[in-house]
Amino acid sequence: MLKWLSSIFKSKSEILSETDIMKKFLVVGLGNIGAKYENTRHNIGFKVLDELSKSQEFTFEDAKLGAIASFKFKGKSILCLKPATYMNLSGKAVRYWMEKENIPLENVLIITDDINLSFGTIRLKTKGSDGGHNGLKDIQNTLQTATYNRFRFGVGADFGKGRQVDFVLGEWNGDEMQQMPERLKKATALILSFIFAGVKNTMNQFNGT
C-alpha cells in the first residue's frame, strides 16, 4: 500500500523541480554569424534579440554553439540564443541548449524571417511546415517534430524568379530601415507576452499586427 501511494504522490522536491522547469524559457533568434550578414533580412532573428537585450538590459557572451544571454521577467528565467552554427545547422544549437538547461519544447520560441509575410508583419504559430526555410528545416529534423513555437517576422518577397537567396541575404532598404525601430519594439513585446501571458493569448493579441 505504501509503495503504491508513493508512486502516486510525488515528493515536494520533485514538484518544485517540475515547477522550476516550467518557468524556464529558451528564445532562439535565427541568423548567420559574421559582419557580412549582420544587416541582412535572413538575420532578423539576431536583430530582434539584440533589441530585446537593449530593452531588458542584458548582454550576450560566446558559449558552445552560439552567443548566450539570460534575464529574468516576472518570475520567469529566459535564456536567449543566437546560434553560431550558421542557418542550415540551427537545430544542433537549439537541441544542445534545450537539453543542457532542461527546457521543455513548449517553452521554446524560434524567431525567423518569412518571405510569405509582408515586411514587418509578425505572426506566432505553434506548428507548421518549414516553408522551405533551411533553419526551420534543420530544427524540425533535429527535434523530430514540426510542433514547436515559431515567431515569423515578415521580410516580404520583392524579388524576381530565382533571386530568393540574394533577397534574403540582402540588406534592408531605406523604407524598411525607417520602419524597423517600431517593428522591433512590437517584436520584443510579443516575446515578453509569450513568456508571461502564454502562446494562445499572444497569438490573439499580436498575429497580423
Catalytic residues: 42
For residue 203, report the phi and psi dihedrals to the nearest 5 degrees.
-60, -45
Which of 143, 150, 33 is CA-nearest to residue 87?
33
Rounded Cα distance between 171 and 177, Å, is: 10
Closest CA to 32 of 86, 112, 91, 110: 86
Long-range CB pairs of 141-148 (<8 Å, 24+ gap) are 141/91, 142/91, 142/92, 142/94, 142/95, 143/91, 143/94, 143/95, 143/105, 145/105, 147/105, 148/105, 148/108, 148/110
CA dist., res. 118 & res. 153, Å (int): 9
Q: Which residues pair with 46 in a beta bridge?
A: none
Query: Do the beta carbons of residue 104 and residue 21 sit within 8 Å?
Result: yes
